Structure 1
């Protein structure tokens, strides 16, 4: 089938003497490239190439003006704002910047549609007056200033325009207005020049005016890519603009509307596929394209409804695709280095007198490219931060962490201070780029170097802006300009526009035809965009002045979508079906329209990731000779109650922690962790009770300890934490909880003494160690541990373990001795206190009967919770000999090569 471009070329060759004297005007540069290629293929002899313009290039040529960049427009508008606004009402540039872009967009639209400025701004000001009308006689100063702003808008516009015109530049709307005004002059000087417009649909008032003026000369033709299916349906939005042109243009009263086709009604295979999220969409597209032949790929277009999926889709392309052409380029903000600079800015912005916040430092140092720059210093600093528990880091800390007297250049660049100075910030960013450039390998890191060059250009642009204008006064404004700059800057990808898979956005597909079409992200709010509108112009005022509203914008996308289907044969439409949270959406109305039309064969699919059911083998570690040797050394150095408790909970965890020696990752405690809270309680109690060891406690002793609680807790915090803030937030709550625990515990002790209890503490934090020698044991074993408190209370020995967490009485009760070996360590606490008692018994420092148990600070009302065998809480020598059998059984199992380390002990 002939494409639309080829059909127009054929008509032009038949109807015109020579194409060399023709000026072709097309919707986009992309379309112009295709047109030039197809003209060359249709010619039998060489000719001078005809002029080919995109509509924007043609209008810029007619006006004689160059389009000012968005940034230059913002600065020009601010100049106008400063000149006209009364001094007391002027806003800073950073506040102005927040609404300036919307105002510029509205100015652009007003001019492109040739709206009369004076009447329009009068209407707009009157509407704002009505919106803020109230029965109050005196409006607030805020409302007065707001309304005054709208009254000054015509003056802002006039002065803003004059500033741009003095530099022979303009915003796009003004260029369109100027071209429309000068079209008669152009026609007078190009009387014999032929013009051909092709592939247009929605035209603003300026475009309609100049095209109609050229059509009236008789030397101009316009070809529409219209379909009878839509033109005959007066309710269909895809033909909205063309029907309007036929109705309102004088040209069509005496000339035919060229051209209307019937390609859409030819049978097409349409597959509508539902995926869950964007990344799955990218993978599905890759899977779909993997079955395409080289010839099919040359006739395939992949249209991205959501252009942010470009990188995921490129990464998901299958190996059979050798040639691709991406027309949109990769926005700098979507490259991996954009994340690096965002973290860099956060580090600098959140710096305060205390230093750099540790999370920001670690996040930056964990960036792959920064690790490549710093080598070992990156891990050195991260480890030092975690070990020293530093919340804020300054230059001196960095020197200490890297063991240097002077910081290397790389760390100086990363951690110097901007002091809210944009000039310093830009220089710092450029210095970082230079360091990274010198670090990267030209071959291995070619893509990163390309990204880096893009950022180098972006920051140099900011240097020029900062040198030319003085409005970038602080870091927040600098960062806003940076983000705007990288949003518009792209990394252009090189490819053959006429060979291989073509990847483009919806608007870039104008005028182009493909046999195979894939459209992604076909969801409401994306295709079409919906009611979102970044404008200060109310809907009614837009409607009155025939400015485009969301309805016209939806109609534009409807035409482009359906035009893609005109000559295609194989169509894949993909939408996401997320229904919750961010990105929740529904399928596009375009899909629903296709389903309701019932014109073509439609297949529905749901793409889901391939799921394979596999039975995971039990994760078990056999004991090799090397493991046995390690265990032998571990047994000889000493097994602690916590080590044996770990084995009871999870043998595999015991293997990782005690056999392999894998330690838990050190993390900075910005908020006091549960285990640290327990340490502070233990150490504080040891400090408070230590002066009264081997002394019968009195109420006076307890009162003395109560008076010392606050300074003791503070001292314990200072020992553990370098710069912990205890004045607010969760840490203040935890500090108060610890204090309340200790006060309640001492009050409980005082109450016991007042009731007549005689308490004498024998040992605090007693280091216990004993050898265990039994025939079943595989090798010599040492047991060691630390008992929190040993006391004699009313002539009864008690071995006490403090727990800051929650413990129930039932955790310390067993019915059978084998219960101590219950799966997942369900009686671990009972095992632990018995082990302390057993070690004390082996050292000969205990009299019977004794009791062993736990005091839980979360269950303080339960008081001392003793170990009980069945209902008996007394521990005798016989009790410990029975426990010894269980202990030997457990240690034998650990040391035996017959038993494996499994996920859970059963």
Structure 2
């Protein structure tokens, strides 16, 4: 089947003798490339000029004599006029102005494109508002109403002055260019009487285009070529809305063949598959596999109704497709590099917002951890990150940052980004220098991304040098965010080769054998009733301006036109609903299923779910692993590592053999383990002068008097530069003080009750060498928080800032202690007993020994001693030789298992992953 452009080309050649004077106007640059190729094919073997082929936008610019002004320059020009013409006592700042000016410019654009009388529409808007605000019960007009009426009244003044200034400078926004072209149309026609104009593949036209086209078509030698189908031209089909209107209203279309370019392709046999999937990725993956198996890439167009899916699509294209032509621009806001510039702004904005003169550590880390920074700095940025984490710097001063950058060898182009922003022009220049630095370390498509951002900042810099409206970083950031969605990267490629990857509007005039359209959901295709405008729906209808209904008709035409000549059509939609109604298939699909029922296959695509049973991972104890294990047990194994093995052998392997450690991070909020360390060390420091002595009441009172100072010093030591004087950290520090105070109060109470307390040791390190039944000679080590003697009973005491209950320390049969992680507290205190009795040669038969825990979150139960009673109601807290012997037996058996190369490390799937702080 011939394409529309091939048919059009043949027709133009047949009716035009000399292509030199022929001018073809097409909807887009892309359509122009394909039309040029169609002429080459049709004229192959002949000597002939090619006609001049121009996009409608460039054609209108030529008639108007104006150049398009970019959005940034337009905002600056508009603000200059606003400052001059605004008569209010208090004008908006540039920052506030940007918020509403972009909407107003869009309204100006629509007014001009549709040749609306500006004075009438603004007067009408004022009258409508007066009617809305009128009330028979009140004649009072509020300040809000007055301000709005004044704002609407001023719009006409801004509109006139802006148009006048721009025309004087020979530039204009799109609507102004169109209005000026309309005014110049007759003069242009008189100067180009020798040319033959051919308008190709148009559908929806604004009022200015309509009038211009009609002026050209009033001459017999100018022609228009419609790309339409009987399917939507008959009746009241939405896709044919505009063409039916033109055929009914345009006098120039009532003669000759100017309305005969309507075919009947849509009714022919087609393979149409409607595919629903719960995720966009799932649908794309399933469809793109067809490119490997069934579809020819050169005959296929992949059309993205939702252009943000471009990265997903590029990652889904099979490797066999070695040529892909991307005909859509990619918004700078969707490029990963935009996040890097965002982090630069946040560094300074959050510094002001938090009321600090220092940088917030998360903003610094966000910047330094960006993949581009890591790449261009050869990972030297990690040195700065580690320094911040190791010193627990929640806020970092400018001087500290300069020191860190110098010591880590990072380039000055990065360091200057942290300098104070005293002059916004200097700051913009720093960013441009930074972009130059990025260029030195990036390659490939990344350089194209960088160039897009250079253009934005360079343009902002040039304009601000002229107008000087940007006076702080907040305004600069707001402009940056406004501009990003308006700027895009244009990909370069061979337009006529490979698979075509395009947006909906790029498909105009083009035909493909195979068509894949993504995101055919209501609210995306068509887009729905989402418009930002100061002109209401009713007012737009009154002045015959387009509403969202016109936009729906436009996309309806593009959708059906793209399908009408295709043979294989794959239409994807997302079945997952969200809070905004997404997940409903487009009404276009519903209509297709009714009208092309015989050709349509509708099915849902579900990702293949494999029945997966997680298997425990197993690590073999190789000679190298055994060497590491033997070395560890020769140096000294601690209770916590033994407990780690019981919790999960695989975690033990990762920690002890592979040495995998959790990466350091800034502790912005005091962690539970930090608070535990503070409490432990505070008690040690307070009791240390009384080691080996009997505690007196006066001693405890002196401790209470100094406890706040001691706890505070320990927080400074372990929390480093972290803030503990405000917020949640202040509460945590007060809790730590309360823990220590409660312990001292408990000791005072015991002394008042007549008890005698002697401190034997504090935070003492103990070790012993033992031989297991398998002949393994190992060393066990441990640090015991406190050893004391209360009324002659020796006690081994462990502090816990977490919750411990008496039931956690009750077990009659100690041979079970290593069988389950739930006994880990028992293992810890009993290993302390083993270490102490071996190290100190303590005779359990001669002296009474107890071991247990003080739980600061369960302090009302006091000292929780290890209970060996088999009866639930009884207590047996004395550690006997038999108790220790039973524990030694089960502990040594476990150590032999760890050191036996026949027992591999096997993952415990039900392991508790949260360790006690």
TM-score by length of 2: 0.92
CA distance in 2, matches of 1:138, 1:228: 58
Q: 2:889 is matched with which residue?
A: 885
Mapped to 1, the partners of 2:228 and 2:73 lie a distance apart of 39
Residue aligning to 1:85: 86
**Would you say the 8 A contact 2:413–2:434 is kept in 1?**
no
From 369, 373, 376, the equivalent of 1:370 is 373
Give the secondary-structure state (helix, strand or coil) at the position aligned to 2:293: coil
CA-to-partner distance for each residue in 1:549-605, whole Å, 9 max, x for gaps?
111111110010000011111001111223347995322221122123244421233
After superposition, the Cα gap between the structure-2 partners of 1:337 and 1:905, relative to the gap in structure 1 and judged at 3 Å, is closer
* Residues in 2 aligned to 1:575 and 1:883: alpha-carbon distance in whole angstroms: 64
Deviations 1:20-58 (A, max 9, x none): 333222212221222222122223622222232222222
What per-residue deviation string (whole Å, max 9, x for no partner) do you get for residues 178-231 of structure 1? 222232333333445432222111111111112222222333322222221212
The separation in 1 between residues aligned to 2:683 and 2:775, in whole angstroms, is 40
Q: How does 1:344-355 map to 2 (within 5 A)?
A: 344-351=344-351, 353-355=356-358
Deviation at 1:680, TM superposition (A): 1.0
Query: Residue 763 of structure 1 aligns with which residue?
Result: 761
Q: How many residues align?
A: 896
Give the secondary structure class of the aligned counterpart of 1:802. Answer: strand
Q: Any idea what the Cα deviations from partners look like across 1:779-800, whole Å, max 9, x if unmatched?
A: 3222221111222223322222
Judge conservation of contact 1:269–1:600 (CA < 8 Å) in 2. Answer: no
Q: Which position in structure 1 is the counterpart of 2:856?
A: 857
CA contact (8 A) 2:305 2:525 kept: yes
Local SS of the residue matching 1:762: strand
1:480-505 Cα offsets, whole Å, 9 max, x none, are 33344444444333322222211111
Give, in whole Å, the separation in 2 of the partners of 1:663 and 1:192: 81
The CA deviation string for residues 710-759 of structure 1, in whole angstroms up to 9 with x for no partner, is 22221111111232122333322322322333333434444444444443
How big is each residue's C-alpha offset from its partner over 1:208-263, in whole Å with a ceiling of 9 and x where there is no partner?
112222222333322222221212222x2111112222232233455562222111
Q: Helix, strand or coil: the match of 1:319?
A: coil
Aligned to 1:671: 669
TM-aligned CA distance change 1:768 to 1:399, over 3 Å: farther
> 1:82: Cα distance to partner?
0.5
Q: In the TM superposition, what is the alpha-carbon distance from 1:516 to its structure 2 partner? A: 0.8
1:46 aligns to what? 47
* Cα distance in 1 between the residues matched to 2:792 and 2:744: 21
Alignment CA distance shift 1:725-1:537 (3 Å): same
Cα distance in 1 for partners of 2:615, 2:416 equals 47
Pick which of 675-684 and 323-332 moved more: 323-332
CA shift, 1:631, in A, is: 2.5
Kept after mapping to 2: 8 A contact 1:62/1:182: yes
Preserved CA contact (<8 Å) 1:265 1:599:
no
Deviation readout 1:64-118 (Å, 9 max, x if unpaired)? 2222111222112111110111252211111101111110000000111111111
CA distance in 2, matches of 1:97, 1:162: 21
Query: Whole-Å Cα distance in 1 between the matches of residues 378 and 565 of structure 2?
Result: 56
Q: Secondary structure at the match of 1:821?
A: coil
TM-score after normalising by structure 1: 0.93
Query: Do residues 95 (structure 1) and 96 (structure 2) align?
Result: yes
- How well do the aligned residues superpose, as a CA RMSD in angstroms? 2.6
Residue pair 1:760, 1:791 contacting (<8 A) in 2 also: yes
- Return the match for 2:817 from 791, 798, 820: 820
Label 1:350 to 1:602 Cα distance change in 2 as closer, same or farther (>3 A): same
Residues 733 and 593 (structure 1 numbering): CA distance in 2 closer, same or farther, change over 3 Å?
Answer: farther
1:802 aligns with 2:799: yes
Instruction: Report whether the alignment pairs 1:895 with 2:899.
Output: yes
Counterpart position of 1:788: 785
Q: Which residue of 2 aligns with 1:568?
A: 566
Deviation at residue 699 of structure 1 after TM alignment: 5.0
Measured after TM superposition, the shift of residue 678 of structure 1 is: 0.8
Task: Please list, as runs of the form range in 1=range in 2, the aligned pairs for 1:228-247 lying within 5 A after superposition.
Answer: 228-234=230-236, 236-247=237-248
Paired position in structure 2 for 1:211: 213
The question of 1:359 aligning with 2:354 is answered no
> Does residue 432 of the first structure (1) align with residue 408 of the second (2)?
no
Deviations 1:418-452 (A, max 9, x none): 41532122221222222233334xxxx33333333
CA distance 1:402–1:198, shift in 2 (3 Å): closer
2:170 to 168, 171, 188: 168
Q: 1:831 to 1:553 in 2, by over 3 A?
A: same
CA drift at 1:411? 6.4
The 5-angstrom pairing of residues 533-552 of structure 1 reads 533-552=531-550
CA 1:329–1:149: 2 relative to 1, 3 Å: closer
CA separation in 1, counterparts of 2:365 and 2:283? 33
Structure 1 stretch displaced more, 73-82 or 347-356 = 347-356
Q: Are the counterparts in 2 of residues 268 and 600 from structure 1 also a CA contact under 8 Å? A: no
Deviations 1:433-485 (A, max 9, x none): 22233334xxxx33333333333333322222222221122112222333444
Q: 2:818, 2:891 within 8 Å by CA — same for their partners in 1? A: no
1:751-782: per-residue Cα shift (whole Å, max 9, x none)?
444444443332222222222245x2533222
Shift in Å at residue 373 of structure 1? Answer: 3.0
Gaps of 5+ in 2: 911-917
Cα distance in 2 for residues equivalent to 1:141 and 1:712: 61
SS at match of 2:562: helix
Q: Is the CA contact (8 Å cut-off) linking 2:391 and 2:721 kept in structure 1?
A: no
Q: Partners of 1:341 and 1:464 in 2: how far apart? A: 19
Where does residue 829 of structure 1 map in the other structure?
825
Checking the alignment, whether the CA contact within 8 Å between 2:359 and 2:398 is kept in structure 1 is: no
Aligned residue in 2 for 1:477 = 475
Q: Kindly indicate whether residue 706 of structure 2 is the aligned counterpart of residue 708 of structure 1.
A: yes
Contact (CA 8 Å) 1:270, 1:600: kept in 2 or not? no
Q: Is the 8 A contact 2:380 2:410 kept in 1?
A: no
The one-character-per-residue Cα deviations of 1:583-638 (angstroms, maximum 9, x if unpaired) are 95322221122123244421233334444456665422232333333223222221
Tell me how far 1:548 sits from its aligned partner: 0.9
Inter-partner Cα distance in structure 2 for 1:26 and 1:437: 37
Counterpart-to-counterpart distance in 1, 2:690 and 2:508: 90
Partner of 1:382: 385
Q: Is the 8 A contact 1:524 1:589 kept in 2?
A: yes
**Offset of residue 307 of structure 1:** 1.2
Residue-by-residue CA offset, 1:855-900 (whole Å, 9 max, x unaligned): 2122222222221222422212222122222222222222222322
Give the distance between the partners of 2:851 and 2:306, measured in 1 at CA.
67
Q: Conserved in 1, the CA contact under 8 Å of 2:275 and 2:570?
A: yes
Partner of 2:879: 875
Residues 129/793 of structure 1: CA separation in 2 closer, same or farther (3 Å cut): farther
Where does residue 330 of structure 1 map in the other structure?
Answer: 330
CA distance in 2, matches of 1:876, 1:457: 81
The 5 A counterparts of 1:319-718 are 319-351=319-351, 353-375=356-378, 377-398=380-401, 401=404, 404=407, 409-410=411-412, 413=415, 415-419=417-421, 421-440=423-442, 445-580=443-578, 584-613=582-611, 618-697=616-695, 700-718=698-716
Residue 303 of structure 1 corresponds to 303
Cα pair distance change 1:548/1:501, threshold 3 Å: same
